[in-house]
Amino acid sequence: TFTANLLVQLYGRCGCPEIARQTFDGIRARNSFSWNILMAANAQNGHLENAKSVFDKMPERDVVTWTAMMASFAERGDLFRPKQLFDSMPERNVVSWNVLVGAYAQQDQLESSKGAFFRMPCHSIVSWNSMLTAYAQGQKIDRASEFFESMPQRDAISWNIAISTLAQTGDLLKAKKLLDFMPAVGIVCWTAMVVVNGQLCQLEQAKTIFYSMPDRDDLAGTAMVTAFAQNGDVDSAKAVFDAMPEHSVYAWNALLAAYALNSRSGCAMDIFATTRRTW
């Protein structure tokens, strides 16, 4: 069962919910993990109705079941059903509350997010980060900064949220100041900085950040390709692309968009013609 569960999960992650289902059907001694994983495999591949029917059919539901179902609806922008599930679940844990905070935030109900956050019996670092994100999404930048300052703990994600929030509002100066205080700036944060600098026509800054980053991954490379493209430098975009060790669909899309944006439709068409469909 243990191993079979892993297999179900694997198929779910690979975008094969049908095979996940078949594997699940072959498990003799299913446990709550098996059911929860099957449900997630459907939800994560967009088959929300299938996920719901698994939810309805399962013999036992635990707090993970209820919370995962809430999260799946919330991800689709539904607020009503997550609320309903939250109210009817037999028990809630900190994750359930976190999902609720996020569900409100996603529907721009900042006050409700706050209400839930301050009503929850205990907070995890994810709770704090979710609330910080809620302020950011509600465009309450000053509030977000205050909240960030008041947090009892901060992890790399908290810093990334705070810095990106400032940067995305165009306040690169404040963002940089905060960046100087961040204990260990990682690839996620650097990439976010490349993106905003590119968007704000700060190509030199974007370049400097990109080339001084301690390491670069595919996401960072894709971001830099786009930053060059947005600022009219297709050749440099191509150079960054060529320097990337691997080319994902995302990277190809970025290069294609780079050509399209800079009126090099011939090159764009070439890429379109030579890449293969991934679906």
| Binding test (CB under 7 A) with RNA, winner from 42, 164, 197, 202 | 164
Residues 29-48 within binding reach of RNA (CB under 7 A): 31-34, 36-37, 40
Contact between residue 129 and residue 161 where contact means Cβ atoms under 8 Å apart: yes
Contact between residue 194 and residue 166 where contact means Cβ atoms under 8 Å apart: no
Q: Is 201 in the site for RNA (CB under 7 A)?
A: no
Residues 62-81 within binding reach of RNA (CB under 7 A): 62-65, 67-68, 71
Q: Is 179 in the site for RNA (CB under 7 A)?
A: no
Q: Please identify, using beta-carbon distances, which residue of 124 and 177 lies nearer to RNA.
A: 124
CA diameter of the chain:
60
What are the residue ranges of helices labelled H in the chain?
Answer: 2-13, 17-25, 32-44, 48-57, 63-75, 80-88, 94-106, 110-119, 125-137, 141-150, 156-168, 172-181, 187-199, 203-212, 218-230, 234-243, 249-261, 265-274
Q: Is 126 in the site for RNA (CB under 7 A)?
A: yes
- Give the x-and-dash track for 78-107 against RNA (CB under 7 A): ---------------xxxx-xx--x-----
Nearest distance from C-beta of residue 18 to RNA, angstroms: 18
Q: Is 218 in the site for RNA (CB under 7 A)?
A: yes
Q: Is 244 in the site for RNA (CB under 7 A)?
A: no
Q: Is 109 in the site for RNA (CB under 7 A)?
A: no
Q: Is the dihedral of CA 22, 23, 28, 29 positive or negative?
A: negative
Contact between residue 82 and residue 73 where contact means Cβ atoms under 8 Å apart: yes
| Binding test (CB under 7 A) with RNA, winner from 19, 79, 182, 187 | 187
Q: Is 236 in the site for RNA (CB under 7 A)?
A: no
Amino acid at 75: E
Contact between residue 131 and residue 124 where contact means Cβ atoms under 8 Å apart: no
Q: Is 189 in the site for RNA (CB under 7 A)?
A: yes
User: How far apart are alpha carbons 144 and 234 in whole angstroms?
Assistant: 37
| Binding test (CB under 7 A) with RNA, winner from 248, 267, 271, 275 | 248
Using DSSP's 3-state secondary structure scheme, residue 276 falls into: coil
Contact set with RNA (CB under 7 A): 1-2, 5-6, 9, 31-34, 36-37, 40, 62-65, 67-68, 71, 93-96, 98-99, 102, 124-127, 129-130, 133, 156-157, 160-161, 164, 186-189, 191-192, 195, 217-220, 222-223, 225-226, 248-251, 253-254, 256-257
